[in-house]
Amino acid sequence: MDLRVFFIILFARFNGISSQSVDMTIQNQATGPDVVQAVVDKIKDSCIYSNDRLFLRRLAYVNKIAYEATKQCNSSQYLFTLCEIISSKLKIDWDRTRWQDLTKPLYSGLAASLYLNLRAGNNTPGDINAQAGFWSHYYHLGLPKSDFFSRIKGLNDDVCEQNAMDIVFVVDSSGSIGIINFILMLDFLQNVTDKVDVGPDSVHVGMISFESSAQVEFLLTRYQTRYEVKKAISNVNYLNGGTDISSGIRAARKYVFSEAYGGRKNAVKVMILLTDGQSYYNATFYEAMAAHKEGINIFVIGVGSVNSEEINAAASDPDCTHVFLLSSFNEMDSLIYQIQKSACRVISIFSNNL
């Protein structure tokens, strides 16, 4: 079978394609980590398929039959909308493309994304075992799942060089969250901490909890090791009160990220907000705007039954790469990886503009 090979692997550093005079993502048979990263960024930043749960980076190729299925832009409103996005943001008329075009990395990446949309919609398997079965059934026509695990072995080891980064966890401790989800959120934050290089000259971690009001659990300068941060997180108490998301964002901005309280001037600022978005107040958007203006990059983890409008208002743009919706906490690994990689991209972009 004639195949167009497409390896989507997230490499350690975002060097971007913008600094080159030629856009290599649309050059025939272009290869290399910068090209691959640029393809992934274009697909995700265009919101063509942002909620892939790491599956795109684990795919090896799409075959011709799969590609032809993606060209039927008028077959459904869903696919039509995606083709319109590709046309408006990437200037590509997808239904006029040819199989030969998939020698261009961007086209191959789009084919993989569209086919995944057709087969999984917005419900890409999050569990790696389920992904292996999906891969075998739809992409490799019955190959054993062990082949999938062999191909992706080691993909999660590529970690970017993390210099000065201030991360503040802002955790909803209101009654609508519930004690069980609250404990799971604390476990999640400990897992995030395990994935970053906590230290005096690298990553500092602070934490806010909130209900109808906010309280500082610990400042960025308080702990200098992963062990200390994780222990402090495990000791945070559940408050079980009302919900004012704006109070949590405001407290993080004014009393944790601020240089007066230990925030670093040249550090990348990353806020990870965990909430259901069910706020009793209407100030979330305004507090988030104030944080964005101060260079704080906000990722939102929506827990349970969420108010999508409010959590989208809180997140940095584009929402599709900064908002993660969870009905459970079974997909932690993929979320941790995507947040970490997005933060790494922020670091590189920030560093290039100092």
Task: Indicate if 137 and 263 belong to the same structural domain.
Answer: no
CA distances from 217 to 122, 251, 337 (A): 35, 11, 25
Angle between helices 33-45 and 105-120 (to 10 degrees): 50
| pLDDT for residue 351 | 38
Task: Indicate if 148 and 191 belong to the same structural domain.
Answer: no
The domain total for the chain is 2
The model carries a pTM of 0.76
Task: Indicate if 195 and 334 belong to the same structural domain.
Answer: yes
Angle at 283 between CA 229 and CA 238, to 5 degrees: 35
- Cα–Cα distance between 136 and 212 in angstroms, integer? 48
Task: Indicate if 152 and 183 belong to the same structural domain.
Answer: no
Strands in 84-219 per DSSP E: 165-172, 203-210, 214-218
Task: Indicate if 184 and 82 belong to the same structural domain.
Answer: no
What digits encode the pLDDT tens for the residues 74-108? Answer: 888 888 999 999 999 999 999 999 998 988 888 98
* pLDDT level of residue 147 (50, 70, 90 thresholds): confident
Decide which of 108 and 286 is more confident.
286
Pull the structure tokens for residue 135: 């891969």
Give the range of the structural domain holding residue 84, as residue numbers without chain letter.
3-157
The last residue of one of the domains, among 157, 181, 198, is 157
Pull the structure tokens for residue 60: 């090896």
Place of tokens 């550093």: 13
* pLDDT level of residue 20 (50, 70, 90 thresholds): very low
What digits encode the pLDDT tens for the residues 172-207? Answer: 999 988 898 899 889 989 988 987 889 999 999 999
334 Cβ contact list (under 8 Å, min separation 6): 53, 54, 126
- Cα–Cα distance between 191 and 323 in angstroms, integer? 18
Average pLDDT of the chain to the nearest whole number = 80
Of 283, 354, 285, the residue nearest 316 (C-alpha): 285
- Cα–Cα distance between 55 and 128 in angstroms, integer? 9
Half-sphere exposure of 212 (CA within 13 A, CB side): 5
What digits encode the pLDDT tens for the residues 225-243? Answer: 999 999 999 999 999 989 9
Task: Indicate if 126 and 173 belong to the same structural domain.
Answer: no
pLDDT at 330 over 60: no
Task: Indicate if 195 and 124 belong to the same structural domain.
Answer: no
Task: Indicate if 223 and 285 belong to the same structural domain.
Answer: yes
pLDDT at 62 over 90: no
Task: Indicate if 70 and 135 belong to the same structural domain.
Answer: yes
- Cα–Cα distance between 325 and 331 in angstroms, integer? 10
Task: Indicate if 237 and 117 belong to the same structural domain.
Answer: no
Neighbour count for residue 82 (Cβ, 10 Å): 23
Task: Indicate if 124 and 203 belong to the same structural domain.
Answer: no
Among the residue ranges 81-85, 149-153, 167-171, 183-187, the one predicted with the least confidence is 149-153
Q: Look up residue 126 and give its amino acid.
A: G
Task: Indicate if 185 and 297 belong to the same structural domain.
Answer: yes
What's 198's domain CATH number?
3.40.50.410
96 Cβ contact list (under 8 Å, min separation 6): none
